[in-house]
Amino acid sequence: MTEPILQAHGLTKRFGRVTALDSADFELYPGEVLAVIGDNGAGKSSLIKCLSGAMMPDEGEILLEGQPVTFRRPQDAQAAGIETVYQTLAVAPALDIATNMFLGRERRRSGPLGSILRMVDDGGMRRDAKKALDDLGIGTLQDITQAVETLSGGQRQAVAVARAAAFGSKVIILDEPTAALGVKESGQVLQMIRDLRDRGLPVILISHNMPQVFEVADRIHIQRLGRRAGVVTPSSVSITDAVAVMTGALQINPENEHLGPVPR
């Protein structure tokens, strides 16, 4: 069996008397799209924040390629090759597309202009930003110097995904990427997810949208009451059963992964 590229054991996170994560486990394997589903308050967001460095767990460990890692800030996870597209997209609306794509990792010009005057390489960054968008099949953005706030919701999403794809070398995390999008734009984002997987990048997809999850995911991690209720595959379980596990009406037998009623 291959080793998980990213795994977590016994993650616990408490906010005062509320336990957001209660010894949660997690595994992501190379080359897969893993969906994370769960009801509100199940600990999806906390789990993802721990994996992306936006939050530190109180207990538990995270392993990247088998090595223990500690993420104190989002930059730590980014440096380790984990890129996250947040639901809020984390783009600065007044700044242009290229500036946003390289925000926090601007490249300097070569020679004394860069080393002494610290001048950024706008030409190079714009070229590469354009290429990153083209690689994802988004040729519709004509002007890379356009402010992000002049773009449609789907185009903004594309900018955020392209940024993650350009810098994420190991894992891409997408938090509710289609929540604010229409049907057509959602389809484009799902296609981007498949393209990322085909390029060999494993993707974690957090979503409430069951049909989309079942359409695109290889495996589905079901989060319930702060811990992992189980992992299923779209081919072996129906949407109804997955939702039943999510809400606690059914439970997964950890021995054989068969679904059964919750024992009283």
Partner 1 sequence: MSSDTAVLSADPEFEHRRGGLEKIQHLLHRSPVLSPLAVLVLSSLVFTLLGKGRFQDPSSIGTMLQATAVMATLAIGQTLIILTAGVDLSVGTAMLLTHLVMARQVFVGGWPPIVAMGVGVVLAMLMGLFHGWLVTKVALPAFIVTLGTFYIYQSLGNVYGKAQTIDSKDLGGPRGLLMFMSREINLGSFTINTGVVFALLLYVIFAFVLAKTAWGRHVYATGDDREAARLAGVDTRRVLLSVYVVAGLIYGLGAWVQLGRSQNASMNGAADVNLQSITAVVIGGTSLFGGRGRLWGTLIGALIVAVFDRGLSLAGVDQNYKNLAIGVLILVAVALDQWIRKVGK
| Dist. CA 27–CA 231, nearest whole Å | 10
Tell the smallest beta-carbon distance from residue 259 to partner 1 (Å): 26
In the bound complex, what is the minimum distance in angstroms from residue 260's beta carbon to partner 1?
31
CB of 77 to partner 1, least distance (A): 10
In the complex, the residues that contact partner 1 under the rule CB under 8 A are 54, 74-75, 78, 84, 86, 88-95, 99-100, 103-106, 108, 117-120, 122, 140, 147, 149-152, 154-155, 163, 181-186, 209
Tokens representing 42 are 């199940």
Can you say whether residue 235 is alpha, beta or left, with left for phi > 0 and alpha for psi between -120 and 50 degrees? alpha
Q: What are phi and psi of 57, to 5 degrees?
A: -70, 150
Closest CA to 224 of 19, 77, 79: 19
* Beta carbon of residue 159, minimum distance to partner 1 (angstroms, whole number): 11
Q: Which is nearer to partner 1, 163 or 224 (CB)?
A: 163
Minimum Å distance from CB 99 to partner 1?
6
| Token pair for 1 | 């069996």
Identity of the residue, 63 or 147, whose beta carbon is nearer to partner 1 in the bound complex: 147
Query: What type of residue is 28?
Result: L
What the block records as the tokens of 44 is 């999806």
Which residue, 120 or 225, has its beta carbon nearer to partner 1? Answer: 120
Measure the N-to-C terminal CA separation of the chain; round to a whole number of Å: 35
> At closest approach, how far in Å is the CB of 192 from partner 1?
15
- Given the complex with partner 1, which of 69 and 120 has the nearer CB atom? 120
Residue 34 backbone dihedrals phi, psi, to 5 degrees: -105, 120
Query: Is residue 201 exposed (0-12), middle (13-18) or buried (19+ Cβ within 10 Å)?
Result: buried
1 vs 183 by CB, closer to partner 1: 183
Measured from the CB atom, is 217 or 229 closer to partner 1? Answer: 217
